[in-house]
Amino acid sequence: MAEKMEIELPGYKLPLVEEFFTLQGEGYQTGRAAYFVRLGGCDVGCSWCDSRYSWNPDLHPLVDTDKIIENVLKSGTDSVVVTGGEPLMWDLDYLCIKLKEHNINTFIETSGAYKLSGIWDWICLSPKKNMPPVGKIYEISNELKVIIQNTDDFAWAEQYRELVKKDCKLFLQPEWSRFHLIIPEIVEYVKKNPYWRVSLQSHKYMHIP
Ligand code: SF4
């Protein structure tokens, strides 16, 4: 009789930086309670990145994905936001299949710089100039959130607005360290181009993670 083969599916373990139950602070889902799963690994290299501690995946232990799901369920949440780092560096199919088995809403925050995996109720695409999105993730993204560091970034935002689907929610978000310099420019831009909305990092004002 043939021996039973153990097949190690990718995504059974993920490099976990941190996980916490909080409110979404940014974009269309602002104010919504959600369990955040931050995965390690990112080589996009944004100069203003506020989660540099997540860049090196080797610094973050590989955790059983089942353990992450157990913690999600224990929290009592109905929604999970997977973020990073760049979470699409990892295969997220198993994580999402298991979350869906428990009727958990799945949200992802991604630069789109890696191939899409997972099953998502909401894809927030935040394209970065250093490493633009691959494939056609823009066609299925629910939200486009472009970080504005200087006025050149408006053209980058418009480039992706042309690509996303018609009902995609459009957000411009000031880069935090230049907030006071750039917010007047964003306000004027949105007044002239009202299909955009402003996204503020409201969790920073609420002093929550
Ligand atoms: Fe940081 Fe995100 Fe840019 Fe990666 S893509 S460097 S995690 S801001």
Per residue in 111-126, pLDDT tens?
999 999 999 999 999 9
Percent of the chain with pLDDT over 90: 94
60 CB under 6 A from ligand 1?
no
Per residue in 75-129, pLDDT tens?
999 999 999 999 999 999 999 999 999 999 999 999 999 999 999 999 999 999 9
Map tokens 């955790």 to a residue.
Answer: 63
What separation in angstroms does the CA of 114 have from each of 34, 82, 90, 176? 24, 14, 9, 25
C-alpha of residue 6 to centroid of ligand 1, in Å: 35
In the predicted structure, residue 8 carries a pLDDT above the cut 60: no
44 CB under 6 A from ligand 1?
yes
Could you state, in order of their start, the residue ranges of all structural domains in the chain?
13-206
What separation in angstroms does the CA of 115 have from each of 10, 65, 112? 14, 20, 7
Of 6-20, 125-139, 144-158, 185-199, the least confident: 6-20
In the predicted structure, residue 134 carries a pLDDT above the cut 60: yes
CATH class of 13-206: alpha beta
Which pair of tokens denotes residue 110?
Answer: 């991604």
